[in-house]
Amino acid sequence: MTLRATITKAARVFQIHARRCCSSDGAAARNNQSSFSSFSLRTHTCGELCRDHVGETVELCGWTGRPRLQPAHGFAFLRVHDAAGATQFVCELDRWRDLLDSFSGNERVVKVSGVVRPRPTEAVNTTTPTGEIEVEMTSLEVINESSHHPFSTFGRVEKSVSLQHQLRERPHFLRLPQMQRNLRLRSRVAMAMREFLVHRHGFLEVETPTLFRRTPEGAQEFIVPTRTHGKFFSLAQSPQQFKQLLMVAGFDRYFQFARCYRDEDLRSDRQPEFTQLDLEMAFVDQDCIMGLTEALVHSTVSFLCPQFSIPPLPFQRMEYRHAMETYGSDKPDTRYGLHLQSLSLVWRELLRDMGVEGGEEGSALNPHFFALKIPGWHQAIEELEKKDRGKAGEVDKRARELCHAHSLATMTTNEGESRESLEKLISSRIPSALLSIFSNISPSLVERLSDGVREELSYQDGDLCVLGTSEKPHRDKMLTGLGNYRGLAANVLQLTNRMELDSESLNFLWVTDFPLFCVEQDKKRGVYRVLSTHHPFTAPADDDSETVAGKLGLDQLNEVKAQHYDLVVNGVELGGGSIRIHDPLLQEHVLTNILNVFDRLMAVLCQATSLRDVLAFPKSFYGRDLFTGAPSELSPRQLAQYHLRLYDNHQSDID
């Protein structure tokens, strides 16, 4: 059976199973949510009542805000909401006046009973699931008072509510409908993945220790002191060692939703503690792992998030070198163009005009030369300045930072700026002694280079061309700079309606054939260091195994490919795996791991801009829990219990 047939069969098997496992859950979410009211004081949730329930006596529990009094008509409206939605109650004003007058804007926790009745035709609200009915209130019990409520949770949070305020008041923020949806979807995705792995493919879920010992390599770790003098735990960065021991023990298909901890600088797609779907298999090759991963992701997304468009199986595979030279990224967003283009021929033509032999491409005199053309850039920037001057300023600052960090040049409609930028590019590659010889030729080298670039890229007024050159060891850094500029350009073009991305299209693909080694320059010592791109146990590609065994120069090291692969969607790396050098006797016992970042997958499915929107209790940008105040200081007695002492020059800077 072919790999494609195996993947398709696995997906179909899961489709049948998913219908059985998830149909009742999906129906409950859409139509009747009675399962959410089992073993409860309530008979229904606040989001499920409809015309089918007219005449029934119901009991609902939830939060309520300020009632709407209608003295002229002798009745009042009270809106009660919970995680499932909101229901409108109507009551006689004379009977409930005293109690309702005591209600303020703060959300009290209440239990309300009444009889469901249809709304008058003119009062029907078709925008809400319960908009066709209302409940005539017969009893109202205040379960708990609320003295503090920072913002309304009846709809979307207002933009004026700062991120710090959202984190500080996290329980209230979690009441918002979008947060409820995100966390419930997260739970269903995890359940579907468990069902797929355990019941269809024989995996065993095993919890491995979180308290571990310190490891010398990798990211910074969180240290946990113990009451034994001089002894410390570290919070595990991943279950790496334990899962390999499980393979040795004979559990050859393992997984867990592992909590991992890394004390690193944070950004929008990182948290100091995160969840990864950690998976390990024995007796497999790269195609086996990639096939399983595709079937898992495709099946889960298809049935729990049918609004998304995803590619058919098997997913596209793209070599690392192609991804870098086309998109400037090893996790490319393929939903839009703006491809990089090689201009090596243009540079060689420039050298030929000078009568100079530049040598092999990637050398100092004949560097790698790439360009990014952004059509309509200047018009887009002008529109953005009119629309949002502050945002335009941020874009300009970021563009300058990228040009400075990656030594990029730009060609614009401003001839003066373009000439200055191209002069810097030429002088950075061609020695000044050689330039002085050709300083008087006409047309000048700058004009020749400019004309060559314009012709090769079909440049038009209003376009922006971003140019980058580099020697071979620094090629990927230069390409990354162009790739970052590509992402910045896409953002600007979207803001000015010059580019439209389909937010419900998930372009899954594999990036393969990563370099096994990377070369870093130690500028202080003037030498190059060879490092493993991922980890030192990654196996080389089969074709490169003999090459690695020999003595290699820097150029050869850059060309050795690894058996490593990453799963990418819309510019987000979801995780990856690798085939490892396992046994010195070359016994075939192959190990791998996938979907390292479950949190990032959920951010994509929930269309969230930050991981904070798919986590119940995330940390702030500085790694703090603003709701609980963690991390906190210890008292002198607590420090003594763990044999710790604070030094004056290392006092905590927590505010």
535 neighbors 413 (Cβ within 8 angstroms): no
The pair of structure tokens assigned to 106 is 């703060």
pLDDT for the residue 420: 86
Q: Is the dihedral of CA 633, 637, 643, 645 positive or negative?
A: positive
Q: Which of 22-26, 603-607, 621-625, 645-649 has the highest mean pLDDT?
A: 603-607
pLDDT for the residue 597: 61
The DSSP bridge pattern shows strands 508-512 and 316-319 to be parallel
**Tens digits of per-residue pLDDT, 330-352?**
999 999 999 999 999 999 888 88
pLDDT for the residue 588: 37
pLDDT for the residue 112: 96
Q: Is the dihedral of CA 629, 635, 641, 644 positive or negative?
A: positive
Peptide bond into 209 cis (omega under 30): no
pLDDT for the residue 122: 92
Q: Is the dihedral of CA 179, 182, 188, 193 positive or negative?
A: negative
pLDDT for the residue 563: 78
Confidence of residue 364 (pLDDT cuts 50, 70, 90): confident
pLDDT for the residue 231: 85
**Tens digits of per-residue pLDDT, 266-286?**
665 678 889 999 999 999 888
614 has pLDDT over 70: yes
pLDDT for the residue 163: 83
Per-chain mean pLDDT for the chain: 82
**Tens digits of per-residue pLDDT, 510-536?**
999 888 766 666 666 655 566 666 555
10 has pLDDT over 50: no
The pair of structure tokens assigned to 229 is 């003098």
Any idea what DSSP says for residue 561? B
Percent share of the chain, pLDDT over 70 = 80
What is the side-by-side order of every strand in the sheet holding 232-235? 211-212, 232-235, 223-225
Q: Which of 405-419, 423-437, 572-586 has the highest mean pLDDT?
A: 405-419
**E strand or H helix that includes residue 520:** strand 517-522
Any idea what DSSP says for residue 353? H
28 has pLDDT over 50: no
* Closest to 81 (Cα-Cα) out of 123, 117, 132, 44: 44
Between residues 347 and 583, which one has the greater pLDDT?
347
Cα gap 482→410, rounded to integer Å: 11
255 has pLDDT over 60: yes
**Tens digits of per-residue pLDDT, 148-204?**
777 666 655 556 678 888 888 888 888 888 899 999 999 999 999 999 999 999 999
Cα gap 216→478, rounded to integer Å: 31
pLDDT for the residue 48: 93
23 has pLDDT over 70: no
Residues 6+ apart with CB under 8 A from 428: 407, 469
pLDDT for the residue 30: 41
Q: Which of 279-288, 457-466, 485-494, 621-630 has the highest mean pLDDT?
A: 485-494
pLDDT for the residue 228: 85
Percent share of the chain, pLDDT over 90 = 44
Average pLDDT over residues 550-573: 76
Cα gap 574→279, rounded to integer Å: 14
Average pLDDT over residues 576-603: 56
The pair of structure tokens assigned to 166 is 């959202």
- Walk me through the domains of the chain, giving residue ranges and CATH numbers: 37-149 (2.40.50.140), 178-313+563-614 (3.30.930.10), 336-501 (3.30.1360), 515-561 (no CATH)
Cα gap 214→228, rounded to integer Å: 16
